[in-house]
Each structure stands twice: as C-alpha cells, then as structure tokens.
Amino acid sequence: MKHMHALAIDLGTTTLAASLIDCHTGKRLALASGLNPQASFGSDVVARLAAAVGSADTLREMSTLIRAELLRLGHGLCEKTGIPWSDVGRVAIAGNPAMQHILLGLPVKSLAFPPHRPLFTSGRQLRAAELEWDGTAQVYLFPMPGGFVGGDTVAFAFGACRSTDSSTPSLLLDLGTNGEIALMAGETIWATAAAAGPAFDGGNLSCGMSALPGAISSIHVEDDRVRLAVIGDIAPSGICGSAAIELTSELLSRGIIEPGGRLRDRTEIASNLANRVISHNNQNAFVLHRDAQHQFLLTQDDIRQIQLAKGAIRAGIDVLAERSRIRYQALCNVLLTGSFGAVLHPEWLKTIGILDQGMVQITRFIPEGALAGVEQALAMDDSFDSVERLGEKFRVIPLSGTPLFETMFMKHIDFPHP
C-alpha cells in the first residue's frame, strides 16, 4: 500500500475533531480539535441553513471557511507527527447533513424546508481537489439517512455496532448542538434529531465555551465549597457543557434550583452557598468563579436553555421508543457521546431528567464517539461498504409537527423532583 495514513474528521456544528491514523494498525497517532469557523453565521444548524439559503455568496463563504479549517487541522496533525501530507491517502468525514452539504457547497433548500431531506442519502467519494485541498487523497463523506440525521450519527452507530451486540436493543445519544438519538434493534436503526441548541456543548450559555483550554470542565460542590477543574490547568475563560450539566445537577440535588427551573433567592437557601446567588440583569445567577478580571455565572437563562435542551432530547427518546415499540426495560445498552469536554456521568443526566434509573445502570460514555467510528471505518479498508450497509438500516423519524413529541416535550420540560 502506497499510503499508510488516513485522516478521520468529525465535522461538528460547534466543535471539529480530527485524527491521524495508521491504516495498517488502525491506531490513532494524533488528535486535534477546534471550533467550526461558521459560528459567525449562527450557533446552530437552523441558523446556518437560513444564512446559506438566503445567499449564494454566504453559502460559498461558509464552504470555503470550513474547507480551509479542516485542511489546516490535517496539516497540523502531519506537522505534529512528522508525517508528510502527501502520505495521507484517505480522508473520511462525518457530519450532520447541513454541515456536509455546506462543506460540498451544495444547495441546502431541501434541508432548510419541509420535508427536510438531503440531496442524497448514501455516502459520497470525491478527490481532495474537489474540496480545494492540495494532495491526492481520496475523500469519503458518510451517508446521510435523512433530515437532520447525518454522517456523525452513522459513524457513532458504526463504532457502537463493533463494541456491542447489535442484536440487543441499544440507545445511542450524541448530545451536541444537533442532539442525535438512535435506537438500534436488530436490522433497524430508528433515529431522529432533537433541536437541543448549543447548551450541551456550551454554545449559548452566558459564559459558555467549547471544550478547549480554559474551559471549566467540572464543578464539584462539596459541603459549601465549589471546586473547579479547568482544561489545561490555566485560568478559566468559560464553562463547557459537561460542567454546566454537572452544576445544574448539583444545585437541583441541594434544592437551590427548583424542579420548575427557578434558581432560588439567596434568602431561601439555608447553606453558605446562598452567598453565591446574586442578581444579574434582574434575574438570579449562581457565581461559579470570580477573579480580578472575570465573573463566571450560571444564570437563570442558562438553566432555561438546559431545560429546553434536555426536554427535547427526552421527548425525542420517547418518540423513538413508541415508534420502534421497544420498551425501556428491554434496553441492554445506553451509549453516550458528545463534545461536552469531560465524561458526562449518567447520574447527572438522571438528575436533570434525560435518563431514568434503569438507563443509568447500563450507560457507557464513549469519548469522541463519531470520530472513533470514522477511524474504525478507515481501518477496515473495505471501501466503506460496511458503512453503506449500515446507513441503509436507518429509519429517520421527524419530530417537528409530531403531536407525541410536543406532548412529551411539555411533560419533560421541568426537572424531576429529587
């Protein structure tokens, strides 16, 4: 084999991840991550689609930006490992349908408006030059089963199928800006995407940021003390999704946040944590960290964003369970991934109301689940035939306008009573 190395890419709406692998061993040689440079056009998929539909120039600009950033990540990995870019013979990319369409510079009208269908559903092979990249690599884009369920979900499921018994029912959750949910049972994969918004990866929180150096990645409340962990062990510059969910869970457990989502007044809190509740923009906020330059808060609006996101995810799970006729008691695995920054403990997801107790017992966290699936597909070296076969098993269930989704969303909008 002339080329011994391949580049795997998880093309996220908010966060990008790329790795260089050895094709012979399948081993990851180096990993890099960064922010999707399209963020200035909107923090979520819907906003990006609206921008791209509205102007051909904007679509072109968004396409150019992401192509250049992915190439920069690839070149950076080669520099880090001392491997020439010319030795990267294959690239595989997995992203949601909107991100993959924009990468290719394709019209997105069919995605932006009902019935929200991609222009094609199977994977696509192209040459590096078609993405305006140097080199001679063959590039593969993962299948897009439909709607907002795309290559990243297929990649996550591909990796999951290799780590679990695919004949037993499994629930897959990718908690990113575009929260993808899949229920795998035998020969069918029921899938949907819930518009969770960027709360889970920190995108639309008042001091939120992606899981990059400087992000507060964990907030542990012990007695009346708040202990922070920061990525890179440097001064904090924001909070990532895992820490926001951990803190919300901690404050719910202590009754500082009510089940309805209200952050209590300091006069209603018996412990010394009351001193961390302040008034901010005429609403209560909880102080995570304060120094001479900055004050980082979890605001009442942040809590509402987390409520909306978790309500949409849980309602989406309920819709898939109903359509697939799989009872939660029959689940053997719950596999969790996302770009929150740290491991997301299943107990926190139970406290905020995404998982129930039975699910907690069978939940595993898979770091970089979509990227790991892309790496495994590259290592198989079967021209992605096995990925294509998996893509054909998907049955995509749209949520918008579904009465059951709306009913379940309202049911799950509150946090569970402790």
10 Å CB burial of residue 26 (0-12, 13-18, 19+) is middle
Q: What is the spatial distance between Cα 15 and Cα 200, in angstroms, rounded to a whole number? A: 12
> Cβ(48)–Cβ(102) under 8 Å?
yes
Would you kindly state where each structural domain of the chain is located, as residue ranges?
A: 5-158+374-379
- In CATH, what is the architecture of 5-158+374-379? 2-Layer Sandwich (3.30)
Return per-residue pLDDT of the chain as tens, 418 residues: 456 899 999 999 888 999 999 988 889 999 999 989 999 999 888 899 999 998 999 999 999 999 999 999 999 999 999 999 999 999 999 999 999 999 999 999 999 998 889 999 999 999 999 999 999 999 999 999 988 899 999 999 999 988 777 778 999 999 877 789 999 988 899 999 987 665 566 667 888 887 788 989 889 888 888 999 998 989 899 998 888 999 999 999 999 999 999 999 999 999 999 999 999 999 999 999 888 888 999 999 999 999 998 999 999 999 999 999 999 999 999 999 976 555 778 999 999 999 999 999 999 988 889 999 999 999 998 999 999 999 999 999 988 878 999 999 999 999 998 7
**Under DSSP, is residue 215 helix (H, G, I), strand (E, B) or coil?**
strand
Helix (H) or strand (E) segment spanning residue 316: helix 300-324
